[in-house]
Structures are given as C-alpha cells and as structure tokens.
Amino acid sequence: MTMIKDLIPIARAPEKIPIAEKTLRNWRCQGIYPQIFVKLGGKVFVDLSEFEKIIQRQKEAALDQSRRLGLD
C-alpha cells in the first residue's frame, strides 16, 4: 500500500534515486515501470516504495541467474 510519504514529485526524484528526471519522464511516456508513477492533482509523482520493489525484484533475478550459471 502506497503511503503519501512515499510519493515525491518527479522533478525532485533524482534527489532520492540515481535516475535523471528526463529518464523518468521518458519511462512514463513509454510506459516503462508504470507502477512507479502516480498522478495527483495534475502533478506526477514517483512512488519510492514501488521503485524499491522493482530494484529488489531485479536483484533477486540477477542472483537467481548467477546461481543457475554457477557464479555464486
């Protein structure tokens, strides 16, 4: 469940995550990771909790792949 404190305006997101504002805007327009974007009152926010979930899933997938390849 998203909490208001987890939402940050897209323009301020690069202060909290290592991704440029332009990249985030491109992702939104292209439909990449749509779950991290929330529009409220005409403003676009990034849901930091959803962003963290994506990062965690990618880490787990990379770890699983390295195990399958015997690289662990």
Q: Is residue 35 domain-resident?
A: yes
Q: Is residue 26 domain-resident?
A: yes
Q: Is residue 3 domain-resident?
A: no
How many structural domains does the chain have?
Answer: 1
Question: Which pLDDT tens digit goes with each residue over 5-41?
Answer: 899 999 999 999 999 999 999 999 999 999 999 999 9
Q: Is residue 41 domain-resident?
A: yes
3-state secondary structure of 40: strand
**pTM of the predicted structure, to 2 decimals:** 0.81
Q: Is residue 1 domain-resident?
A: no
Domain carrying residue 32? 8-68
Q: Is residue 30 domain-resident?
A: yes
